[in-house]
């Protein structure tokens, strides 16, 4: 059993794809699924008019806006590996969902638009990866369009993200003049659309030990090829050295160039990625103990809850990252938070277009459990006497707030049910005014409010009235320090969904004024 588990765990590659909007993240996800045989045709964002939507974008609002709003999970086999991809939101106002997803993976693939370079959102996501020290692989996309100079992009990557980079391949030309990729790691040249570039025949040219093409070849006459060779020489002399150790610790990012839309460079990336991306490693518990994935007993944590993935069935799925042992359908587990025993008989796995009942899974896999309200985000479940609780998942202090009411007072029941379920998913945070218990919802970004309103209407048939309160600074106060007279027009006193008191301050000035007036009172925030 031990040898079986070790072999299975080593074959797992569980990673998230992160990027800024429109960098091509969903397109690259689809190409990877295509290589894994999980889908027959890549339904790119380009195909929206034909009704072909990206398989990872399941929510109606995502199809309308062409963005990923929630984190999807897809699994497929490639060569001798079992790949779990977590596709994260790429929009401006991504939610905590993205951060939590990054806690459930062993590595991340960062997709960058070759014309735009590093964008603010990518930087935020990257910081979370750095915080965890997880390996990051960079795919610079859209080479089929004119973009910035590759050397500039590498320089920006290193400066802005404070990470060393190593180009695994290098573009020969760009946009309409894209001839191919010089593969610095595998010592080959990959030809882009050979039939168009007049280089029909070989798609891949092997290089000699000196890294050059032997004999005659039409590409050698191109100035773009000469430029690429000069760049490669410069990088080999002055650039960073390749180091598996540095990749594993998240200090060096291997950089791949390509075009997801024309499916160029994606397969080479995937082949190299599965060689260097880590298999599942140990997870830390609240007591500081590290639980190895090859531990016999099953354990895992819930990093995401999604209601109504199938509106026809009103289902609610808790996504579990398996941290140790094996999952077999029907096993009995203990929920660490309540010490309650639960039988896991209704489980699912995600294979792009379909969801299948999962009978068996191992550490590193992501499974979905049909939930009737037992689970919360961050919960640990374990088998037998393992008795573990994994570290808390990050929760972020909201910056934007809205008052929310049901438009139809006769439909209060569905309104309250919808609010409670969407809050349990963690997309928004719920507060109530101290005495009147009016609902206030908080979020990291504006889009979450739009998604909340849309889902309340479409999934719970509850039309809502949203009244903006603007940006506030939320700070928690210990109940023993609280005097209700501390509240004023500048700092609204509310309770969170667990009943803890906090103030919503108008601005920094109001916060400083409060701190000066009550110097002994400690105010705290989330992350």
Last residue of a domain, one of 229, 246, 276: 276
Pair 250, 110 in one domain: yes
**456 is a domain residue:** yes
The pLDDT value recorded for residue 407 is: 92
Pair 377, 509 in one domain: no
The pLDDT value recorded for residue 60 is: 53
The pLDDT value recorded for residue 312 is: 58
Q: What is the mean pLDDT of residues 142-168?
A: 93
Pair 293, 239 in one domain: no
The reply to whether the predicted model has a pTM over 0.85 is no
The pLDDT value recorded for residue 89 is: 64
Last residue of a domain, one of 343, 358, 383: 383
Give the pLDDT confidence of 394-410 residue by residue, as tens digits.
Answer: 777 888 999 999 999 88
Pair 61, 163 in one domain: yes
**390 is a domain residue:** no
- Annotated binding-site residue numbers for GTP: 19-26, 87-91, 141-144
Separation between Cα atoms, residue 277 and residue 107, nearest integer Å? 7
Pair 427, 442 in one domain: yes
The pLDDT value recorded for residue 201 is: 61
Pair 204, 228 in one domain: yes
Q: What percent of the chain has pLDDT over 90?
A: 54
Say which range, 260-264, 320-324, 477-481, has the weakest mean pLDDT. 260-264
Which residues have C-beta within 8 Å of that of residue 457, sequence separation ≥ 6?
463, 464
**393 is a domain residue:** no
Higher per-residue pLDDT: 103 or 61: 103
Pair 484, 362 in one domain: no
Pair 295, 230 in one domain: no
Mean pLDDT for the chain?
85
Q: Which domain holds residue 342?
A: 283-383
Pair 115, 175 in one domain: yes
Name the residue among 289, 172, 264 with its Cα closest to residue 219: 172
Q: What percent of the chain has pLDDT over 70?
A: 87
Pair 183, 221 in one domain: yes
Residue 65 clears pLDDT 50, i.e. is over it? no
Q: What is the mean pLDDT of residues 3-12?
A: 94
Domain CATH number, residue 413: 3.30.70.3280
Residue 71 clears pLDDT 50, i.e. is over it? no
Question: What is each CA distance from 42 to 55, 119, 260, 263, 393, in whole angstroms?
Answer: 8, 26, 11, 10, 34
Pair 195, 65 in one domain: yes
Last residue of a domain, one of 276, 299, 316: 276
| DSSP SS3 for 48 | helix
Structural domains in the chain (count) = 3
- Annotated binding-site residue numbers: 19-26, 87-91, 141-144
Pair 416, 438 in one domain: yes
Domain CATH number, residue 289: 3.40.50.300
**392 is a domain residue:** no
**394 is a domain residue:** no
**153 is a domain residue:** yes
Tokens of 408: 């139809």
Say which range, 55-69, 210-224, 298-312, has the weakest mean pLDDT. 55-69
The pLDDT value recorded for residue 69 is: 36
């Amino acid at each position: 059993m031990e040898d079986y588990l070790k072999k299975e765990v080593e074959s797992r590659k569980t990673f998230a794809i992160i990027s800024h909007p429109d960098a091509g993240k969903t397109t690259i996800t689809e190409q990877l699924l295509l290589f894994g045989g999980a889908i027959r045709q890549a339904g790119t964002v380009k195909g929206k008019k034909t009704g072909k939507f990206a398989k990872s974008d399941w929510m109606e609002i995502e199809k309308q806006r062409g963005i990923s709003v929630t984190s999807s999970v897809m699994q497929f086999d490639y060569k001798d590996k079992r790949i779990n991809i977590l596709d994260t939101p790429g929009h401006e106002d991504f939610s905590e969902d993205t951060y939590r997803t990054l806690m459930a993976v062993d590595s991340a693939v960062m997709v960058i638009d070759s014309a735009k370079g590093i964008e603010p959102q990518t930087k935020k996501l990257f910081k979370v990866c750095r915080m965890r020290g997880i390996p990051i692989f960079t795919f610079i996309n859209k080479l089929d369009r004119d973009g910035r100079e590759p050397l500039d992009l590498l320089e920006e990557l290193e400066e802005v993200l404070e990470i060393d980079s190593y180009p695994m391949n290098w573009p020969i030309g760009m946009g309409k003049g894209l001839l191919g990729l010089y593969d610095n790691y595998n010592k080959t040249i990959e030809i882009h659309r050979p039939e168009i570039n007049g280089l029909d025949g070989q798609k891949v040219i092997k290089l000699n030990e000196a890294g050059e093409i032997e004999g005659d070849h039409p590409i050698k006459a191109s100035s773009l090829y000469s430029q690429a060779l000069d760049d490669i020489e410069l990088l080999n002399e002055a650039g960073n050295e390749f180091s598996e150790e540095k990749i594993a610790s998240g200090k060096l990012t291997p950089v791949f160039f390509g075009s997801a839309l024309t499916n160029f460079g994606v397969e080479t990336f995937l082949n190299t990625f599965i060689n260097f991306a880590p298999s599942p490693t140990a997870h830390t518990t609240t007591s500081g103990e590290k639980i190895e994935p090859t531990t016999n007993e099953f354990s895992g944590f819930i990093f995401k809850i999604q209601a109504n993935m199938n509106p026809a069935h009103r289902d609610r799925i808790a996504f579990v990252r398996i941290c140790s042992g094996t999952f077999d359908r029907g096993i009995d587990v203990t929920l660490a938070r309540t010490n309650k025993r639960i039988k896991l008989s209704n489980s699912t796995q995600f294979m792009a277009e379909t969801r299948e009942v999962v009978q068996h899974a191992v550490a590193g896999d992501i499974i979905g459990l049909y939930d009737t309200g037992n689970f919360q985000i961050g919960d640990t479940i374990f088998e037998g006497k393992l008795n573990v609780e994994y570290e808390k998942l990050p929760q972020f202090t909201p910056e934007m707030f809205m008052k929310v009411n049901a438009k139809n007072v006769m439909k209060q029941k569905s309104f309250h049910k919808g609010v409670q379920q969407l809050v349990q998913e963690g997309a928004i945070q719920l507060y109530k005014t101290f005495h009147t218990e009016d609902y206030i919802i908080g979020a990291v970004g504006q889009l979450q409010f739009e998604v909340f309103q849309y889902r309340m209407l479409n999934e719970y048939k509850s039309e809502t009235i949203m009244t903006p309160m603007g940006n506030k600074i939320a700070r928690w106060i210990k109940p023993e320090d609280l005097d209700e007279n501390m509240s004023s027009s500048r700092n609204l006193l509310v309770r969170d969904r667990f009943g803890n008191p906090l103030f919503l301050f108008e601005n920094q000035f109001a916060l400083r004024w409060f701190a000066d007036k009550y110097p002994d009172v400690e105010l705290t925030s989330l992350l």
